[in-house]
Each structure stands twice: as structure tokens, then as C-alpha cells.
């Protein structure tokens, strides 16, 4: 257990998993609104993945997603609907299904953060 030198608080190590050209945050965040998801990913040192990045994960790296345990949930994407900016795309990674929803809705939409590979 590592502690901060100035305040002695425990430093929680963040784990990122390399899949394809991206690093995916190992921890999955529970249901929250799109706005909270954007904020949570920024706090974790990453960003919300785009709809195409989530679909690439499903289409080209499905076996590797076992490490992330993504089945059975919708995940928010950073992609806003172009004609209605209060809506964002979400992806159901078990089937590769995409749909849109209000950014303020928090029911059933989980968060998996991503960052460019270092």
C-alpha cells in the first residue's frame, strides 16, 4: 500500500488494460448520467470512448473484452447525436447494439473510460 508523502492518505493505483490502440480503465463505473460519466473519466485520467471506439472493441477485440467484463450492459459513448445535442450514443457490448438516449438519464448506462496508449 502506497501512501502520499504529504498527507499520508492511501494512493489507489489505477490499472489500465491495453486493447487495440487504446488503454481501457480496468474499473467499471456504475450507472450514471452522461455528464457525470464525462466528469468521472476525466478524474480517472482518461476520457469517455467514442461510439466507434466501443464498436471497434466489440467488432475487433471481443475476446479481449473478457478482461473488462463488459457483457450485459449499455455503456455511454462520448459521441453526441449531431442533430440533437441533448442526446448521446450508447453501446450494448454484448451484441454490438447502439442506440441513443438523453444525456441526463442515468438508468442502466455504465461507464468505461479510455485513453490513448502511452
* pLDDT greater than 90 at residue 102: yes
Determine how many CB atoms are found less than 10 A away from the CB of residue 24.
26
DSSP secondary structure letter of residue 20: T
DSSP secondary structure letter of residue 118: -
* pLDDT greater than 60 at residue 110: yes
* pLDDT greater than 70 at residue 89: yes
According to the model, what pLDDT value does residue 115 have? Answer: 95
Kind plus residue range of the DSSP H or E element containing 53: helix 51-60
According to the model, what pLDDT value does residue 69 have? Answer: 72
pLDDT tens digits along 31-72: 899 999 999 999 999 999 999 999 998 888 877 777 777 666
Q: Is 71 helix (H, G, I), strand (E, B) or coil?
A: coil
Strand boundaries in the chain, DSSP class E: 2-3, 10-11, 16-19, 22-25, 74-80, 87-92, 97-102, 109-110, 114-116
Q: Where along the chain do its domains lie? A: 31-116
The label of the residue with cell 490499472 reads 15
Let me know: does 3 contact 13? Beta carbons within 8 Å. no
Is domain 31-116 classified as CATH 3.40.30.10? no
The label of the residue with cell 457490448 reads 93
Amino acid at each position: 500500500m502506497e501512501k502520499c508523502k504529504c498527507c499520508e492518505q492511501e494512493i489507489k493505483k489505477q490499472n489500465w488494460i491495453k486493447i487495440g490502440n487504446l488503454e481501457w480503465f480496468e474499473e467499471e463505473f456504475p450507472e450514471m448520467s452522461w455528464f457525470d460519466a464525462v466528469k468521472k473519466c476525466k478524474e480517472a485520467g482518461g476520457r469517455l470512448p467514442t461510439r466507434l471506439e466501443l464498436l471497434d472493441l466489440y467488432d475487433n477485440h471481443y475476446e479481449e473484452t473478457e478482461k473488462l467484463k463488459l457483457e450485459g450492459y449499455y455503456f455511454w459513448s462520448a459521441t453526441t447525436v449531431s442533430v440533437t445535442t441533448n442526446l448521446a450514443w450508447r453501446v450494448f457490448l454484448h451484441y454490438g447494439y447502439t442506440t441513443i438516449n438523453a444525456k441526463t438519464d442515468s438508468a442502466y448506462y455504465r461507464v468505461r473510460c479510455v485513453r490513448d496508449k502511452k
